[in-house]
A = this chain, B = another copy of it.
Amino acid sequence: MAIIVQKYGGTSVGSVERIYNVAHRVAAAVDAGHSIAVVVSAMGDTTDELVSLARSVAACPSEREMAVLLSTGEQVTIALLAMALENLGCNAASFTGPQAGVVTDGSKLNSRITAFSAVRVKKALAEGKVAVVAGFQGADKDGEINTLGRGGSDTTAVALAAALQAHSCEIYTDVDGVFTCDPRIVPDARKMNEITYDEMLELASLGAKVLHPRAVECGKGHGVVIHVRSSFHYEPGTLVKEEIDLETGTVIRGIACDKGQAKIAVVGVPDKPGVAARIFTAIGKANVNVDLIVQSIRREGENDILFTVCADELPKTLTVLEPLVKDVGAKELFHQNSVAKISVVGSGMVNSTGVAAGMFQAMAAENINIEIISTSEIKITCLIAEDRVEDAARAIHKYFNLSDVPLYPENSSETTEVTGRNNQVCRGIQ
């Protein structure tokens, strides 16, 4: 009897009717002979409402008490879902995060899971019950209630699957899976059948909407196969796993777009040790998250350091940098708002050439200028003007024939044919 962990987000349990949809789905999996543990979030907007309630009490409520307050949200859902399952004749038992054995690191609102015994969950499953577990929460070693921060329920589900050595972890969402690009930008974007953990992490801007990077990291660390799928139908979604068969040959997996970026250039930085450290330490202390960092030698003894931040954080970043630029002996500080990142991601790049050239060529044909280029082993990112990012995504998507990525790579005949085309394109631009 395979153990399957299913996770349903706040929208999927946003009303009594929807809770019953979930209950029916769980009951069907039980009827199919599986042993099911379900992880759920707070209903609909509950968490936002609790945050508002707290803010009506205190402008800046303590994180400790906020965690105590917010954790009630999932506790309501687990009780209601267990009641619904029992009403359908399905034995069930609910567990809060602490009851399920989720041990957290003590950070009140952005905690990480340090251990997950799942003793009581295993016992419930052994007794033939569905275990309904509250996502997003746990308790530290002193019994203090912690919440897991964004993507917390996904992480609870994957960590529970690891603790139970589950056959798979199904993350139910309101989309069909992970797509080659955001379908709102590229209408013929295709759902991927499989993707590696690393690709999923690099595609964060696509993936974070359906599966939080922390959950992906947790899955990678424990070898948990994560199935991202729709809660509206029974079609398979996207499997996130260690290795996919590279012989099926799709070099590029997907295209990610991140708008709302700002570029900052510190020009004429003396080329000596410790300067970059000073700059980024100062920015880090201001709690600004730096994304791309590119350094290129301009002329002997001087560097230009370019990096991007979220556009919202540009003013704060400049405030920190302006005095510092003089201190470190740099010549100028430039910045540019309204830029966007566009990235192509795929493990296959490691073994392929010409992907970068193809990406640049696709954008050149659309007369899109590239500000910065940055690459990792499985990703190429370009910074471009924000108002051209949709054009760039469509052009690159088309260039690499991503609309023809096979839906069922395990179907070898179709696979060979279609991925051949994708490979051919790459070869053609070497």
Contacts and interface: CB of A to CB of B under 8 A. Distances in A.
Given A84-B58, A120-B143, A143-B120, A79 B66 contact: yes
Contact of A61 (B66, B78, B83, B120): B83
Contact of A53 (B62, B69, B80, B99): B80
A76 interface: yes
Contacts of A19: 57
A68 B99 CA distance: 11
Nearest to A19: B57
Could you say how many copies of this chain the assembly holds? 2
A287 interface: no
Nearest to A101: B143
Contacts of A47: none
A11 interface: no
Contacts of A79: 54, 65-66, 68-69, 72
A57 B84 contact: yes
A54 B80 contact: yes
B76 A62 contact: no
Contacts of A145: 96, 99
Given A16-B56, A72-B76, A143 B99 contact: yes
Interface in A15-70: 16, 19-20, 50, 53-54, 56-59, 61-62, 64-66, 68-69
Given A84-B58, A86-B58, A65 B53 contact: no
Contacts of A62: 82-83, 86
A218 to B, nearest CB: 25
Most chain B beta-carbon neighbours within 10 Å: one of A79, A93, A94: A79
A369 to B, nearest CB: 51
Contacts of A114: none
30 contacts: A16-B53, A16-B56, A19-B57, A50-B76, A54-B83, A57-B83, A57-B84, A57-B87, A58-B83, A58-B84, A58-B86, A61-B86, A61-B87, A62-B82, A62-B83, A64-B82, A64-B94, A65-B82, A65-B83, A65-B94, A66-B83, A68-B75, A68-B78, A68-B82, A68-B96, A69-B76, A69-B83, A72-B75, A72-B76, A75-B75
The 7 closest A-B pairs by CB, nearest first: A69-B79, A58-B87, A72-B72, A68-B79, A61-B83, A65-B79, A58-B83
